[in-house]
Amino acid sequence: MAGGARRRGPEASAKNGDAAEDLPDLEEGQWDKDKLLDALHWLKQIVALVCGVAFGLLPVTGLYGLAAFAAINAASAHFFYHSYLQLDEDDYGGHSALLGEGFMPSVFVFQLFWILTYSFAHF
């Protein structure tokens, strides 16, 4: 492919022996609803872990930290499906369904890593 980009489709997995056929084909923009919601869920978990560790190392406390995390979490998910994938959110249940997917588990992960990192770094 041009620019050194590698296509990871079923023909690539047959050569490499990996499970690339489970990944959506990003070039064609064909995301089914379940795979998109799974991707958003795991994106939010990664953002929660990174924010929890960062907010714990920086002595961020209180409601400002939680509000900042919620804003970062929503902005990263919105950027992923709206700007990066350029999907029509109405085809997947609207903004509320996409932004709400995996939000509460990510709040738990964020609080867990925020509290643990803050406690270990500052006490």
Six-digit token string for 81: 């499906």
Sign of CA dihedral 33, 112, 48, 107: positive
Please report the pLDDT score of residue 30 as a whole number.
76
Per-residue pLDDT tens, the chain, 123 aa: give them: 444 444 444 444 445 555 555 555 555 567 888 999 999 999 999 999 999 999 999 999 999 999 999 999 999 999 999 999 999 889 898 999 999 999 999 999 999 999 999 999 988
80 DSSP assignment: I
Could you tell me the CA-to-CA distances from 86 to 27, 80, 83, 123 in Å, in that order? Answer: 12, 8, 5, 45
Please report the pLDDT score of residue 27 as a whole number.
52
Residue 65's nearest CA partner among 75, 76, 74, 54 is 54
Six-digit token string for 39: 């991707």
